[in-house]
């Protein structure tokens, strides 16, 4: 790979919970930016939270990235010049950075109690100032406690965000924040900043919820004698109620969508459109097109809505465009049936594929093919099984029984002949037959369903429904 562009971006999730769709969107945008610029996409694991970081969550992250097709050039498992790319293995490096900052006077130890710090915050609030306004270097020098970065209050922190434009933070609104805890463990601010320096990250592309951390990271980077990266803060993901995406909107773990039968290409497509557009009002965007057209400058500032209905639509488009043999391979593990049931499904599968948005729906649509004991949806039954319907079903069974060839066209011709004979509309004939053979008024196309189910079973079910009415 030609990496002359100098673009180096990273995704740095913490393995403390399931891989969130918001993190997946951030990873995808980083990947698109790297691939568009022929740069490096790096995956590191921010696991300094020793108690909550668990191997299964790390595996969930890596599995999710692979499922989306987001390959990485450096990082965990693939290697690179920076060791394991896990923060838990870099404790000595963080301590060295803290020592450098203390020696230069840019950081100091602080052993003030929580009560003393609360008093300083209350004083600031009483004066309508930022709560951290008075949390500054004390006059007494100590060599224990937490370590804080000393902030120069005479200069605002200003930077150009690729997405949001010029961002300005008053220096008096940034407290002397903790970079090393009293137990010797680094904070997120320290570990993330040191890693970004060491890994030569050129652009930090992350969610807007981390925007308030950026002035701290910029000041810390400068204190360590390095040049801050370029920042791009992505819009938040909202639910369809206009509020920040959370569990109240349903599943937020990427794994859940994989388990529900969504396709990786469809999820990639959906996530790519959450805050970015390729232009031309496109809904279906191939990977190659997304890579070719992606630009951080075209990312919106406005929140993006994670719309399940839109995801279903996109997934359905990919399902219908899929090679039919691939469709069958995806469905087969979900179908618990014998060879007869599977042959029935295969016969009807082209019609089912055209009407499927998610893989499990294919099995649901075809459930009537896999059983000898049909279960009737009572609402459907009561709606179409009227007085006189038993006679209609008997006529249908008698007419179908005379067919020499049990295929779609003769079945359709026979049933339409019943309409003429009985002088009834399709609703009075086709719908009762549909309920009789599938158990529901909603099913795949009737004539194709009869053909797939087979002569003997179709006739048995139709006559059984007529008997049930009688």
Q: Would you name the residues annotated as active-site residues?
A: 247
Q: Quick one: CA dihedral 137, 139, 141, 146, positive or negative?
A: negative
Instruction: Write out the two tokens for 9.
Output: 């971006």
The three-class DSSP label of residue 8 is strand
Q: Are 108 and 304 in contact (CB under 8 A)?
A: no
Query: CB count, 10 Å around CB of 311?
Result: 20
Q: Quick one: CA dihedral 197, 200, 202, 208, positive or negative?
A: negative
- For 56, phi then psi, to 5°, come to -65, -30
Query: CB count, 10 Å around CB of 287?
Result: 15
C-alpha to C-alpha distance for 428 and 426, rounded to whole angstroms: 5
Give the number of C-alpha atoms closer than 13 A to the C-alpha of residue 76, restricted to the C-beta side. 23
Characterize the bridge pairing of strands 178-180 and 146-149.
Answer: antiparallel
CA dihedral of 384, 386, 390, 395, whole degrees rounded to 10: -70
Characterize the bridge pairing of strands 8-11 and 40-43.
Answer: parallel
Pick from 374, 291, 302, 361: which is nearest to 331 by CA? Answer: 361
C-alpha to C-alpha distance for 114 and 145, rounded to whole angstroms: 12
Question: For 77-207, where are the alpha helices, taking DSSP H only?
Answer: 91-104, 114-126, 188-198
Residue 9 β-bridge partners: 41
C-alpha to C-alpha distance for 380 and 402, rounded to whole angstroms: 28
Angle between helical axes of 264-272 and 55-68 (0-180°, round to 10): 90
> CA of 99: how far to CAs of 93, 103, 164, 178, 243, in Å?
10, 6, 35, 14, 43
Q: Are 11 and 210 in contact (CB under 8 A)?
A: no
Q: Are 454 and 344 in contact (CB under 8 A)?
A: yes
Residue whose structure tokens are 């599938």? 438
């Amino acid at each position: 790979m030609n990496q002359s562009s100098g673009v180096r971006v990273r995704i740095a999730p913490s393995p403390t919970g399931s891989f969130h769709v918001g993190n997946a969107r951030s990873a995808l945008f980083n990947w698109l930016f790297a691939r568009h610029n022929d740069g490096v996409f790096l995956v590191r694991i921010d696991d300094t939270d020793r108690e909550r970081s668990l191997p299964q969550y790390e595996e969930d992250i890596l599995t999710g990235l692979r499922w989306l097709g987001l390959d990485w050039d450096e990082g965990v498992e693939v290697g690179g010049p920076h060791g394991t790319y896990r923060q838990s293995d870099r404790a000595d490096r963080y301590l060295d950075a803290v020592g450098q900052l203390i020696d230069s006077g840019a950081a100091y130890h602080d052993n003030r109690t929580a009560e003393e710090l609360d008093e300083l915050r209350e004083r600031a609030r009483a004066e309508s100032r930022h709560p951290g306004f008075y949390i500054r270097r004390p006059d007494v020098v100590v060599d224990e406690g937490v370590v804080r970065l000393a902030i120069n209050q005479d200069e605002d922190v200003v930077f150009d965000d690729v997405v949001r434009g010029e961002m300005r933070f008053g220096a008096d609104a940034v407290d002397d924040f903790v970079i090393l805890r009293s137990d010797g463990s680094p904070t997120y601010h320290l570990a993330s900043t040191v890693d970004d320096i060491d890994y030569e990250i050129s652009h930090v592309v992350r969610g807007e919820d981390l925007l308030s951390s950026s002035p701290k990271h910029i000041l810390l980077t400068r204190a360590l004698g390095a040049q801050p990266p370029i920042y791009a803060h992505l819009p938040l993901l909202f639910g369809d109620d206009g509020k920040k995406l959370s569990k109240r909107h349903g599943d937020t773990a990427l794994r859940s969508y994989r388990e529900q039968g969504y396709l990786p290409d469809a999820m990639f497509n959906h996530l790519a459109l959450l805050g970015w557009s390729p232009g031309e009002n496109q809904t279906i965007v191939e990977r190659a097109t997304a890579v070719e057209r992606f630009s951080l400058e075209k990312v919106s500032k406005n929140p993006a809505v994670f719309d399940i209905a839109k995801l279903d639509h996109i997934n359905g488009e990919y399902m219908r465009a899929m090679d039919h043999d691939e469709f069958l391979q995806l469905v087969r593990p979900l179908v618990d049936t014998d060879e007869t049931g599977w042959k029935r499904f295969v016969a009807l599968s082209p019609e089912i594929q055209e009407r499927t948005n998610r893989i499990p729906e294919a099995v649901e649509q075809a459930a009537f093919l896999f059983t000898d004991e049909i279960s009737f949806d009572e609402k459907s039954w009561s709606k179409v099984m009227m007085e006189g319907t038993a006679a209609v079903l008997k006529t249908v069974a008698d007419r179908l029984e005379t067919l020499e060839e049990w295929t779609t066209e003769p079945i359709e011709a026979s049933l339409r002949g019943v309409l003429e004979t009985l002088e009834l509309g399709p609703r009075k004939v086709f719908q009762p037959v549909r309920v009789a053979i599938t158990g529901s008024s909603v099913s795949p196309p009737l004539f194709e369903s009869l053909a797939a189910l087979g002569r003997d079973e179709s006739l048995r079910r139709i006559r059984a429904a007529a008997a049930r009415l009688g």
